[in-house]
Amino acid sequence: MKQTKAIKLRIVFMGTSPFAEKMLSAMLEEKYNILAVFTQPDKKSGRKGELTQSPVKILATERKIPIIQPEKFDNKTISDLKELRPDLIIVAAYGKILPEKALEIPGFGSINVHASLLPKLRGASPIQNALLSGEGETGITIMLMDKGMDMGDILLQKKVSIAINDTSDTLTEKLMEKGAEALLEAIPLWIDKKITPKKQAGEKATLCQLIERSDGKIIWDNEAQNIFNQYRAFYSWPGIFSFWDDENGSTKRIKLNKISLQKINPQKTHRMGEVFQIGEEIGVQTSNGVIILKEVQLEGKSSISAKEFSNGYPNFIGSILK
């Protein structure tokens, strides 16, 4: 939908991740008036601890948009926001909870772009959680923000199908495209009062699991489908891993960088977590079905094919991953 008077809006954008950068980029392409960008402070990363800028900050710098990076929303931050006199605040994957005082500043309110069909999957990691639970569909919700966590009234929603081999990367790409589309559609409709906000059905709400590095640990007495969903959800971070005792009896962490799924169990019975040859492939037994190893990575080593790994470590076949 082409923008009309919405272009004249005074907008503050708040976001950090590549998802958020896509929303900001789409708005800039439509010539929206972005007064300033709020994004997370630069963070140290890598072994050298070098400071890295968020994708949103990089884009804002290129476009010469003022950048604000508060550690927290204290009185000074609220004051800085008020001085900008925004008509509208747009929030997408910012990573900070906005206090009610901030949300109340713009006349047209504060709008959030959330990557799920609310009230399902409220919280900070809806994309990973949709994959983790084996959903076949998710989507984008454009909502008015209030003091609750993703509890505000819904302005617009768009559905996105989840393919059986989608990972967090591929699903994020789909949702980024749909999110930009939904946001550009929703803003003028909201400003022109052509959308009636709808209350969320709170009784149908579900919450996202907070993702931590340890969540990538595989439990082999789980079903193969659940493990495969874990792989899809944690593909970018934290990845999935198990532990393996090498030929010297040392327990090593082994990352499973690429896997596939076989739902049918082999005729021969194997122990949970046992590595075995299955045709030309290398499989691991689960409680129901087999995980096929494609690429693995021993701690401190490079990622290689499972076949290469088994050739280099003959005792891998027949061992128990734990």
The reported pLDDT for the residue numbered 6 is 47
**Which residues are within 8 A (CB) of 2 and not within 5 positions of it... i.e. 6 or more apart?**
none
**166 and 234 share one domain:** no
Q: Is 322 inside any structural domain? A: no
**284 and 303 share one domain:** yes
The domain in which residue 129 lies consists of 5-204
Q: Is 249 inside any structural domain? A: yes
pLDDT digits (tens, 9 = 90+) for 286-301: 999 999 999 999 999 9
Q: Is 118 inside any structural domain? A: yes
**200 and 115 share one domain:** yes
**136 and 263 share one domain:** no
Query: Residues 132, 135, 138, 143: is their CA dihedral positive or negative?
Result: negative
**141 and 158 share one domain:** yes
Looking at the structure of the chain, the number of domains it has is: 2
- Residue of 167, 119, 169, 165 lying closest to 141 (CA atoms): 119
CA atoms within 13 A on the CB side of 154: 20
CATH number of 96's domain: 3.40.50.170
Tokens of 173: 């790409």
- Residue of 80, 49, 79 lying closest to 66 (CA atoms): 80
Residue 22: how many other CB atoms lie within 10 Å: 25
CATH number of 219's domain: 3.10.25.10
Q: Is 321 inside any structural domain? A: no
pLDDT digits (tens, 9 = 90+) for 220-250: 999 999 999 999 999 989 999 999 998 888 9
The reported pLDDT for the residue numbered 2 is 47
Cα distance between residue 89 and residue 295, in whole Å:
44
**197 and 222 share one domain:** no
Of 204, 235, 270, the residue that ends a domain is: 204
**218 and 170 share one domain:** no
Identity of the residue numbered 243: F
Give the single-character DSSP code of 182.
H
Cα distance between residue 115 and residue 122, in whole Å:
9
**79 and 165 share one domain:** yes
**Which residues are within 8 A (CB) of 253 and not within 5 positions of it... i.e. 6 or more apart?**
241, 242, 243, 298, 299
Of 182, 204, 226, the residue that ends a domain is: 204
**245 and 119 share one domain:** no
The stretches in the chain having pLDDT less than 50 are 1-6
**116 and 191 share one domain:** yes
Helices 55-62 and 18-29 pack at an angle, to 10 degrees, of 30
Of 175, 204, 233, the residue that ends a domain is: 204
**34 and 175 share one domain:** yes
**270 and 306 share one domain:** yes
Three-state secondary structure call for residue 222: coil
The reported pLDDT for the residue numbered 148 is 85
